[in-house]
Amino acid sequence: MITREQVDHVAHLARLALSDEERERMTSQLNKILEAAGKLQKLDTTDVPPTAFAVPIQNVFRPDEVRESLPRDLVLANAPDPERGFFRVPRIMEEE
């Protein structure tokens, strides 16, 4: 069972400012989904290795060469608050 407190904690981890109503609904919906997912516990997977990718994938290397990157002005054109070639954000540090 996932509790309302756990939902609050997970919402914080996921950086979601859920409304009270959403927290209530999320708690009940997540419980239903997790209950359905609990079905997997019936399977014995003791000696089964996990699959991250279902086709064999290895590291892919390329020469470490300087290449052209995207034009800065085009990239910053999407920024909500660009300033002198940077992305400006609200205060990060706690106030003293």
Partner 1 sequence: MGTTAELTRLTAHELSDLLRRREVSAVEVTEAYLERIQAVDGQVKAFLTVTADQARKAAQEADRRFATEPAESLPPLLGVPGALKDNMCTIGIKTTCGSKILHNFIPPYDATVVEKTKAAGAPILGKCNMDEFAMGSSTENSGFFPTANPYDLERVPGGSSGGSAAAVAADEAAWALGSDTGGSIRQPAAFCGLVGLKPTYGAVSRYGLVAFASSLDQIGPLTKDVTDAALVMNLIAGKDERDATSVDRPHPDYTSFLGREIKGLRVGIPKEYFVEGLDTEVREKVMAAIGALANLGAELVEVSLPHTEYALATYYLIAPAECSSNLARYDGVRYGHRSTTAPDSVTMFKKTRQEGFGPEVKRRIMLGTYALSAGYYDAYYLKAQKVRTLFRRDFEEAFKQCDVIASSTTPTVAFKRGEKVDNPLAMYLSDAFTIPAPLAALPALSVPCAYSAEGLPIGLQLQGRHFDEGTLFQVAYALEQALGLKRRHPEIPTGSGKEVR
84 is a contact residue toward partner 1 (CB under 8 A) = no
The conformation of residue 78, written as its DSSP 8-state character, comes to: T
Per CB under 8 A, the list member of 20, 64, 81, 96 interacting with partner 1 is: 81
Whole-number CA gyration radius for the chain: 23
Distance (Å, whole) CA 30 – CA 3: 10
Q: How far apart, in whole angstroms, are the C-alpha atoms of residue 28 and residue 69? A: 46
Question: What residues line the site for partner 1 (CB under 8 A)?
Answer: 2, 6-7, 10-11, 13-19, 22, 26, 29-30, 32-34, 36-41, 43, 45, 48-55, 57, 60, 62, 70-71, 74-75, 77-81, 87, 89-92
